[in-house]
Structures are given as structure tokens and as C-alpha cells.
Structure 1
Amino acid sequence: MSFRYKDEILNSLSLVRELVRDYESCPECGSNSIGSSTNLGSMGYNGKLGTFERTCKCGWKSKIKVEKV
């Protein structure tokens, strides 16, 4: 599977690596923990889209959708 992210075409593993790099630390409080754990986020695939979710214990959250190509 390949996905478009930041005007690049990436395979699934490269996509997750880029998303984790971009969302490793919370932009609100700087924490690198997800919710109450230290997981790096979750990635789900549904048809033509991939969805990456990142939450933080401070309440910040982000949900990124990437197009499958």
C-alpha cells in the first residue's frame, strides 16, 4: 500500500515513521506520551484512506487522514 503525505508517496511503514516523527511530541505541552501511555499513536486503514490518531494526557488530539494511491 502507498499513501500520499506531504506531497510524497510513501509505503505504509514509511508513512507511520513520518507521522510518528511529526507527532512524537505534543505541540501543547511537549509530552511524548500518548494519553496515559507511551505508545506512539495508532494507524488504521479503511478503503481509500489511512487514519493516524495522536492524543495527549493534556487533552490535545490530532486525527490525520492520508489518501491511498
Structure 2
Amino acid sequence: MPKKPTPEELMEELREVQACRSAITDLTSPSFDMHLVDRNNVARLQGFFDRYDERLLNDLEQVLRPDS
């Protein structure tokens, strides 16, 4: 059974999602100077998707694995 997240873990996850949204806004704003894009937020966005993909792959492997 998955462990219950702590309030601190949830707060950090929310901050990460906010940073990812900020990166998306920066990258999709037509008038935004691309030299001013916060590269740290873009890196966090990439890391977020990488971790999400990894978690989905692990979950899928668990579902597809035959019962032993």
C-alpha cells in the first residue's frame, strides 16, 4: 500500500507543478522574449514529465506482470 504523503511533500509537489506551469506560460507566450525564459523551470518541467513517465511505466509493468 502506498504511504500517505506528508504535508511538506505535498507542498513541494504543488510548488513543482506551479514552476512547470510557469515554464509552459513562458514558452507559449507569443510576445515573451525567449532569452528571459527561466531555464530552471523548464528543467523542472522536463524532470516532472520524466518522473511521471517512469511512474506510469512501472505501474503498467505491475499490471501486465502475470501473477506469480
The TM-score bracket by the shorter chain reads under 0.3
If the length of structure 2 is used for normalisation, what is the TM-score?
A: 0.27
When you count helix as a share of all residues, which structure comes out higher?
2
When you count strand as a share of all residues, which structure comes out higher?
1
Which one has the largest radius of gyration?
A: 2
If the length of structure 1 is used for normalisation, what is the TM-score?
A: 0.27
> Could you say which structure has the greater relative contact order, defined with CA pairs below 8 angstroms and 6 or more residues apart?
1
